Amino acid sequence: MEVEWKGKIGYGDIVSPICYVHNESLRRKENVNLKFFWGHSPGTKFKPQDPETIDQRADFIFTHTERVDGVTMQHVYNQSIEYNHTNYFDKNLGLHNLRFSDTYRWTGDGNHIVVVSSLNNKKQFSEYAKHKMWKDPLAGKWEDYITELRKNHKVEMVGYDTPVKELAELIQSSKLLIGYHGSAVWMGKWIGAPMLIYSSDKLTDRCLPWCVRREEPTLELEAIIDTSVSLIEKTELDLKEYLK
């Protein structure tokens, strides 16, 4: 089977297809090739100041995902496709694209929490995609919330400007990942980190099955960590059944 995927800038459009093709290979018991189509030349950065190219991030994630024999990935440059993907079946939103890193599984042995906010996003959802505003109910509130978090916690801010290896290491050792429904939060799913996600739609509960979802800022982090960790354990059992 071959899965064609339109190359985009978001982590969701890198982590999801890579994890998906591994799971599909196991479920179908056949070889699966993932083919990214990039509308640019090799070595092109989305922004000149980016630490790496988007396809380099894809290579990193593919290399450090729990591997399945028969799964391959290739990049096609200077070619765009009109559709988003082919042969992508997401009926089970929580599990179809859930596969863990074999290098950066969550340990929680650091003394920090990681925050993925929309503070430094070039545009807010309200400016270019109002129908997606549910993904970030803390828009306009992140700065004050982070100030409160820093009174009792060491906070590491991450985003698209964080080198992917550093991002993985920070999430791996964090006590908790806090974010909105998007961006580097998808790396948290790949790493298996406990997550507090701000979203106003229950769809988030399905896509990120062990997250604790809130719509208003909270500082009660210890209970959230415990809840999320217990949900991770349940999700791992569900994943084993899904892959049979």
Residues 6+ apart with CB under 8 A from 109: 173
Locate the DSSP E strands across the chain: 2-6, 32-37, 71-76, 112-116, 154-157, 177-180, 195-198, 212-214
| 3-class secondary-structure state, position 180 | strand
pLDDT confidence of residue 58: 97
Question: Which mean pLDDT values do the consecutive 10-residue runs of the chain (244 residues) have?
Answer: 95 97 97 97 88 95 97 97 95 95 98 94 76 92 97 96 97 98 96 98 97 97 98 97 94
- Write b or e for each residue in 168-195: b if 16 or more Cβ atoms lie within 10 A of its Cβ, otherwise e: bebbbbbbbbbbbbbbbbbbbbbbbbbb
The residues that bridge with 114 in the sheet, in sequence order, are 156, 177
pLDDT confidence of residue 72: 98
| Interatomic CA distance for residues 75 and 196, integer angstroms | 33
Say if residues 23 and 99 touch (Cβ distance below 8 Å): yes
The residues that bridge with 37 in the sheet, in sequence order, are 6, 76
Strands 212-214 and 195-198: parallel
pTM, 2 dp: 0.95
pLDDT confidence of residue 94: 94
- Write b or e for each residue in 85-121: b if 16 or more Cβ atoms lie within 10 A of its Cβ, otherwise e: beebeeeeebbbbbbbbeebebeeebeebbbbbbeeb
pLDDT confidence of residue 120: 79
pLDDT confidence of residue 71: 98
Strands 154-157 and 212-214: unpaired
pLDDT confidence of residue 122: 67
